[in-house]
């Protein structure tokens, strides 16, 4: 087997094994091991460059604070998410797929390399400087261009070593770290013995006339933040090999914050000592030792530093080459290393990387700060320390992190804005401060905060949260919704905006509101509204204007739109068809504080634009609260967006009637039956009758599509679940009986018969009642179950068994709450109706829901049961068995 083949195989193996989750038994590193490895990585000759750069900005005491405390402060925060690497045995490049998407991750990897690789150009520059300086000490003057040749030779030798693969790199590292330590020790001894201690301790830089001491201190803190944060890329491989989360975390913190920072301070001491002795500040340990001790020591150190710089260049090319290879699997490792070498060579030819050291540090940090913020917020606050590993590894069938063609737009936008935010504060190229207040936080930390807060807030928006958290099944929030939480009054600041939004949304449908018997009626009062579609929530606030109101809302709305906004608009969360005593208490609170309480007593949208039967509990509630009762009968809302097809019909026209049906004087005198009778009478409606009488033309070609959900039984052959719809037609798939829906909402058979849709609907109900009376009604099917415990997320409960018969409902499934396979029973008499959906959120298909106090179970058919699962029929049976219909 050839050597070339060996290297390729080694690299392939390294890439493959380098991405696999490391099992607990395979972990190699305790705290000390990890600390040594990471310290080795953090110690490089560029530490001297950093030290001498800091010495140009601040005095020694401030330099010590910056080098140690600033580094540790930043590390304590941004290293915290590495516990995820330790927990799952993966490196951050795998995890970043959840933050940016697999394709986005590729882009971010390239950006990271672009901003990180100038470090290696610094090494090459240092190598060339060392050579030049030392030869100069021996009186050898080099020709023009020799510096470039020397730095390029460092690139070439480093690249050649990297191309030789894993074994050569392992040996290089073994020699490199002790060498660097040796150089460091020599520098410390020479530095501290060649100048008096107080010279170093009391050192203050000679600042230019216009230099601001405070600004320089902030710049030094910024340099330290940037220094530690930009090394994260190369350190990412180690935490997954640690045996505990704590050791991975503190090894990272102390590897850089103690060992790395120590060498930065050594670099500073060297620079200060050189300035004291020669009047010139240098960052070259070779020159320092040759000047401050003896040329022979300089010559020895030259060999050490030369190898150290070449070795660092080689190790860097290797680490980033492997990183690129794991991201771009089809590319050749050799080509990738050569591209990296070429990039460093270009930077060497440019020749100004040392001059712009501070600028390049900050530009690197401009990328790393938002990146670190995203990792921190994503892990702790958005994903709550859970990721879907199978999606992160892009295993077949696990696509939670595919997002938009492989890009997580939210993550990418936050990264870009975080980058831009830094530049708004500070121009690192020309060293110009644009915003002094934010600059005091340092550009890196300000960007970290900005990006973190931005990402967190964006993920609070329900739509964004659902987009980012497609992996909720991996670690769902199971805490039950707090139904007892006292509802706030409608937010007075949001109220005008809400009215404006309602006005805009109802405007196309020419809403007309009539008010009857409302003179002198002021809050508190109780409103019972008809319930046809989401449009009800836009019409009601306009009808009740100028007063504030609270609304009862199913928890599902909280999840869809977000709990905060739902509470601000005055919603009280509950679950449908349960005996919710907390809800009664909150309704009472709303009335007692003098507000309007709006209830939609049908608790479900009208299936075919006609009212459901109400229960007397509504009248009892009114009697108990002793406040006026107002009804709001809304017309046209169903026509505009019927539940069986949520596409909006532009031809619909809206009308609402707000009417006081029981005054404050009457409420004490009237019986429950009388109150109930008045409410029921005012909330009787028929949308198709309203359409016909008002000649409301709805001429959308697709106007009948979806009507087969409520009209499921063939009028001719009598088969259930027989109907299908297309365009403006509803047809039986068995006997072919067909009806055309006209523009006024009536159905026409081919024989000229005219059918009123609600009549067909109620005709079906009769058959279900008959099945129930005769004990024939039974549905026993496999289903797919999702639980909604709170306003945050759904929990996938997998497949289960759904049984509905004359005794009520049984739901057999793996209950995530108890982690047991169990059967929940819902007695027939405990529910007067059922929440149904025909196409949940326009994409999930038909479902029914069953609720306990802590969960709402959304029950969908499986492929096997799809043909016999019809929410309307289940609802008919529930209402009959629950006693709502007789």
Partner 1 sequence: MEPNQEIESRIEEVLKAEKENKIPRMTKRDYIIAAVITVIALIGIIGGFFL
Residue numbers of the site for partner 1 (CB under 8 A)? 16, 20-21, 23-24, 27, 59, 61-62, 65-66, 69-70, 72-73, 76-77, 80, 83, 86-89, 214, 217, 221, 243-246, 249, 389-390, 393, 395-396
Q: Report in angstroms how near the CB of residue 409 gets to partner 1 at its nearest.
A: 27
Q: Which residue is it, tokens 């180690």?
A: 238
Q: Which residue has the tokens 């002198």?
A: 520
Closer CB to partner 1, residue 18 or residue 298?
A: 18
Three-class DSSP labels, 774-834 = CCCCEEEEEEEEEEECCCCCCEEEEEEEEEEECCEEEEEEEECCCCEEEEEEEEHHHCCCC
Kindly state the smallest distance separating residue 247's Cβ from partner 1, in Å.
Answer: 9
**What span, in angstroms and rounded, lies between the C-alpha atoms of 704 and 739?**
10
Q: How far is the CB of 16 from partner 1 (least distance, A)?
A: 7
Closest residue by Cα to residue 614 from 629, 595, 628, 596 = 629
Tokens read off for 184: 């460091």
- Scored b (16 or more CB within 10 A) or e, 421-449 reads bbbebbebeeeebeeeebbbbbbbbbbbb
Tell the smallest beta-carbon distance from residue 79 to partner 1 (Å).
9
Residue 274: closest CA among 258, 261, 290: 290
Please say which residue, 245 or 762, places its beta carbon nearer to partner 1.
245
Give the alpha-carbon dihedral of 725, 727, 728, 734, to 10 degrees: -30
Provide the angle, in degrees to the nearest 10, between the axes of the packed helices 146-163 and 118-137.
130
d(CA 283, CA 133): 11
Residue (394 or 742) nearer to partner 1, CB: 394
With respect to partner 1, which residue has the nearer C-beta, 20 or 189? 20
What is the smallest separation between the CB atom of 248 and partner 1, expressed in angstroms?
A: 9
Which one-letter DSSP state was computed for residue 524? S
- We find the least distance from the C-beta atom of residue 191 to partner 1, in angstroms, to be 22
For partner 1, the closer of residues 84 and 848 by Cβ is: 84
Tell me the closest approach of the beta carbon of residue 618 to partner 1, in angstroms. 48
User: In the complex with partner 1, which residue's Cβ is closer, 76 or 646?
Assistant: 76
**Closer of 24 and 145 to partner 1 (Cβ):** 24
Would strands 778-788 and 856-861 be described as parallel, antiparallel, or unpaired? antiparallel
CB of 93 to partner 1, least distance (A): 15
Tell me how far CA of residue 665 lies from CA of 206, 521, 529, 549, in angstroms: 87, 11, 22, 22
CB of residue 252 to partner 1, shortest distance in Å:
12
Tell me which residue has tokens 């696999």: 20
The rounded distance, in Å, linking the Cα atoms of 451 and 417 is: 7
**Nearer CB in complex with partner 1: 76/409:** 76
User: What is the tally of helices (H) and strands (E) in the chain?
Assistant: 37, 21
Q: Which is nearer to partner 1, 87 or 466 (CB)?
A: 87
Closer Cβ to partner 1, 298 or 443, answer by number? 443
Distance CA 610, CA 698 (A): 18
Whose Cβ is closer to partner 1: residue 205's or residue 523's?
Answer: 205
Minimum Å distance from CB 392 to partner 1? 9
Between residues 250 and 605, which has the closer beta carbon with respect to partner 1? 250
Supply the minimum distance, in Å, between the C-beta of residue 155 and partner 1: 34
Name the residue nearer to partner 1 (CB basis): 121 or 218: 218
Token pair for 63: 């330099």
Residue 668: partners with Cβ closer than 8 Å, 6 or more residues away: 626
* 10 vs 245, beta carbon nearer partner 1: 245
Minimum distance from CB of 418 to partner 1 (Å)?
A: 21
Question: In angstroms, how far apart are the furthest CA atoms of the chain?
Answer: 115
Contact predicate 51/265, CB 8 Å: yes
Q: Minimum distance from CB of 378 to partner 1 (Å)? A: 17
C-alpha pair distances (Å), 32 with each of 35, 252, 275, 297, 310: 5, 11, 37, 32, 27
Q: Give the C-alpha distances (Å, rounded to integers) separating 622 from 580, 631, 660, 663, 673.
A: 16, 12, 13, 11, 12
What is the C-alpha separation between 282 and 852, in angstroms, rounded? 73
Least separation in angstroms between CB 335 and partner 1? 23
Any idea what the Cα angle at residue 333 is, between residues 332 and 335, rounded to 5°? Answer: 65
CB 511 within 8 A of CB 656: yes
């Amino acid at each position: 087997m050839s050597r070339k083949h060996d290297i390729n195989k080694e690299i392939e193996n390294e890439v493959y094994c380098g991405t696999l989750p490391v099992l607990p038994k395979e972990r190699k590193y305790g705290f000390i091991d990890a600390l040594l490895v990471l310290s080795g990585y953090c110690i490089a000759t560029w530490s001297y460059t950093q030290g001498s750069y800091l010495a140009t900005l601040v005095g020694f005491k401030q330099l010590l604070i910056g080098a140690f405390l600033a580094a540790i402060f930043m590390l304590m925060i941004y290293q915290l998410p590495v516990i995820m690497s330790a927990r799952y045995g993966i490196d951050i490049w795998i995890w970043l797929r959840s933050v940016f998407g697999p394709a986005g991750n590729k882009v971010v990897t390239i950006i990271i390399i672009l901003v990180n690789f100038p470090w290696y150009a610094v090494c090459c520059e240092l190598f060339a400087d060392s050579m030049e300086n030392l030869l100069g000490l021996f009186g050898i003057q080099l020709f023009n261009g020799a510096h470039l040749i020397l730095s390029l030779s460092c690139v070439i030798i480093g690249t050649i070593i990297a191309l030789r693969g894993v074994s050569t790199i392992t040996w290089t590292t073994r020699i490199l770290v002790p060498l660097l330590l040796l150089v460091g020790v020599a520098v410390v001894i020479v530095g501290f013995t060649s100048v008096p201690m107080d010279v170093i301790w009391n050192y203050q830089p000679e600042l230019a006339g216009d230099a601001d001491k405070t600004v320089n201190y902030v710049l030094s803190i910024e340099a330290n933040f940037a220094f530690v944060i930009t090394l994260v890329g190369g350190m990412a491989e180690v935490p997954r090999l640690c045996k505990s989360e704590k050791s991975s975390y503190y090894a990272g913190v102390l590897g850089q914050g103690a060992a790395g920072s120590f060498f930065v301070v050594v670099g500073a001491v060297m620079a200060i000592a050189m300035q004291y002795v020669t009047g010139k500040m240098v960052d070259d340990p070779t020159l320092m030792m040759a000047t401050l001790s003896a040329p022979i020591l300089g010559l020895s150190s030259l060999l050490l530093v030369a190898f150290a710089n070449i070795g660092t260049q080689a190790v860097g090319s290797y680490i980033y080459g492997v990183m690129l290879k794991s991201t771009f699997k089809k590319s050749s490792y050799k080509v990738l290393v050569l591209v990296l070498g070429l990039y460093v060579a270009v930077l060497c030819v440019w020749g100004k990387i040392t001059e712009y050291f501070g600028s390049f540090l900050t530009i690197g940090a401009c990328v790393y700060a938002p990146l670190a913020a995203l990792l921190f917020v994503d892990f702790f606050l958005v994903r709550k320390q859970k990721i879907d590993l199978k999606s992160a590894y892009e295993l077949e069938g696990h696509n939670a992190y595919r997002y938009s063609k492989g890009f997580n737009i939210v993550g990418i936008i936050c990264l870009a804005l975080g980058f831009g935010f830094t530049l708004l504060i500070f121009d690192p190229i020309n060293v110009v401060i644009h915003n002094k207040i934010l600059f005091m936080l340092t550009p890196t930390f300000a960007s970290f905060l900005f990006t973190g807060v931005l990402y967190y807030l964006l993920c609070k928006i329900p739509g964004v949260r659902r987009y980012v958290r497609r992996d909720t099944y991996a670690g769902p929030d199971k805490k039950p919704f707090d139904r007892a939480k006292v509802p706030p009054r409608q937010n007075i600041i949001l109220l005008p905006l809400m009215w404006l939004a309602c006005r805009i949304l109802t405007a196309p449908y020419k809403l007309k509101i009539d008010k009857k018997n409302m003179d002198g009626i002021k809050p508190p009062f109780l409103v019972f509204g008809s319930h046809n579609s989401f449009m009800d929530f836009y019409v009601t606030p306009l009808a009740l204007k100028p007063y504030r109101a609270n609304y009862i809302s199913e928890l599902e709305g909280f999840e869809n739109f977000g709990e905060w906004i739902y509470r601000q608009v005055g919603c009280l969360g509950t679950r449908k068809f349960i005996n919710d005593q907390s809800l009664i208490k909150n309704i009472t609170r709303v009335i007692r504080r003098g507000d309007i309480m709006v209830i939609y007593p049908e608790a479900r949208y009208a299936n075919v634009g006609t009212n459901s039967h109400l229960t007397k509990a509504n009248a009892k509630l009114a009697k108990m609260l002793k406040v006026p009762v107002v009804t709001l009968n809304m017309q046209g809302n169903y026509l505009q967006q019927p539940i069986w097809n949520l596409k909006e019909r532009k031809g619909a026209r809206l009308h609402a009637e707000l009417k006081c049906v029981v005054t404050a004087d009457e409420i004490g005198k009237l019986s429950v039956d009388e109150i109930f009778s008045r409410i029921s009478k005012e909330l009787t409606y028929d949308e198709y009758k309203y359409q016909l009488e008002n000649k409301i033309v709805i001429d959308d070609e697709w106007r009948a599509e979806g009507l087969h959900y409520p009209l499921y039984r063939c009028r001719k052959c009598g088969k259930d679940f027989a109907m299908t719809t297309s365009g403006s037609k509803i047809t039986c798939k068995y006997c072919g009986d067909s009806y055309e829906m006209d523009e006024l909402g009536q159905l026409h058979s081919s024989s000229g018969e005219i059918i009123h849709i609600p009549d067909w609907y109620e005709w079906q109900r009769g058959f279900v009642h008959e099945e129930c009376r005769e004990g024939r009604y039974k549905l026993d099917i496999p289903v797919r179950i999702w639980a909604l415990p709170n306003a945050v997320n759904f929990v996938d409960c997998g497949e289960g068994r759904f049984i509905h018969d004359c005794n009520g409902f049984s739901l057999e499934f793996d209950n995530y709450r108890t982690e047991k396979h169990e059967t929940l029973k819902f007695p027939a008499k405990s529910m007067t109706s059922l929440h149904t959906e025909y196409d949940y959120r326009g994409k999930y298909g038909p479902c029914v829901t069953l609720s306990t106090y802590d969960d709402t179970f959304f029950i969908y058919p499986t492929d096997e049961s799809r043909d016999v699962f019809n929410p309307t029929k289940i609802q008919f049976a529930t209402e009959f068995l629950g006693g709502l219909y007789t």
